[in-house]
Amino acid sequence: MAAGGLEVLGAVVAIIEVIDLGMAVARKLCAFCRDAKAANESMKGLSIDVTLTCAILSDLAKVMKKDKVVKFTPKSAFEIAEKVIQESKVVFENIRLVIERQEREAKQNLLQRMAYRITIASRSHELETLKVNLERLKSTVGLMLNVMILAGQVRQ
């Protein structure tokens, strides 16, 4: 059973919201990496991964808007897309929270800043875990995008 217009519209709107969040997170990461001496390569790479994930989500939204894809894509594919979009949102939110926490801690007094530098290592591990989750989601969205494109081509 093919998906209806409302499901597609809902998925596209959700994707756009997640893209906005992701781009805000990428900007925060870039600004933090530029301003903080403690920023490591992992954090800089995470910014690139967030941006790439947003680009793939954008491509998915464009494909989902096409009538030929909507007609021949099962409703379950759009339900899966919704779940992946929500997971992406959770990962972006978690990255944003880690960055905001690091920004707050960077503005504290000397003793607190020394303790902050010690906690950077644990935060790096936390960000690395989020990066792995982001990679998994990026791969899943990319796969969904390719399947939808192929489905549209096969049905022509």
> DSSP states of 92-124 as a string?
HHHHHHHHHHHHHHHTS-HHHHHHHHHHHHHHH
Rounded mean pLDDT, 95-115:
72
Whether the CB-CB separation of 78 and 2 falls below 8 Å is answered with no
pLDDT at 41: 66
pLDDT of amino acid 93: 92
Domain ranges, ordered by start, for the chain: 5-154
pLDDT for residue 1: 45
Q: By three-state DSSP, how is residue 155 classified?
A: coil
Pick the CATH number of 5-154 from 1.10.287, 3.40.1350, 1.10.3090, 1.20.1410: 1.20.1410
Most confident option among 27-36, 62-71, 136-145: 136-145
* Encoded tokens for 79: 């339900």
What is the predicted pLDDT for the residue at 3?
59
Average pLDDT, the chain: 77
66 three-state secondary structure: coil
Q: Residue 100's pLDDT is what?
A: 83
